[in-house]
Amino acid sequence: KRLAKAEKLLKQNNTAAFYEEIARGLWGYVGDKLLIEVSSLTKDNVKDKLLQRGTSEALIDRFLKVLNDAEFARYAPSAAGISPEQVLNESVKIIMDLEA
């Protein structure tokens, strides 16, 4: 549900807003899941909390990579090396894996 707006933006070919919404969706999801306030959301803090919950390092690395890809593509879309569709699909998979 969090990524539905991003998908709509992608269909409208608004890639800058798409990547922004992907990042916002991922941060919002993990903040809610781990009960971390927005002001305390950092990659290191999220990684530590996920490790404490027993999340695999591979899944954490996937989460951080897609977040980095989305942030990078926002400012340099042509240099991102990953398509928006791939970012969206991986984001959905990561959220599903974190819920499992």
Cα distances (angstroms) measured from residue 100 to each of 23, 38, 50, 73, 94: 21, 24, 13, 28, 10
Q: Quote the tokens at residue 20.
A: 């922004």
SS3 content of the chain, % helix, strand, coil (to 5): 80, 0, 20
pTM score: 0.88
Q: What is the structure's pLDDT at 52?
A: 95
Q: Quote the CA–CA distance of 31 and 36 in Å, as a whole number.
A: 5
Whether 1 has a pLDDT exceeding 80, the answer reads no
Q: What is the structure's pLDDT at 2?
A: 73
pLDDT (tens digit, 9 = 90+) per residue, 53-89?
Answer: 999 999 999 999 999 988 888 877 666 577 889 999 9
pLDDT (tens digit, 9 = 90+) per residue, 17-33?
Answer: 999 999 999 999 999 99
Helix (H, G, I), strand (E, B) or coil at 36: coil
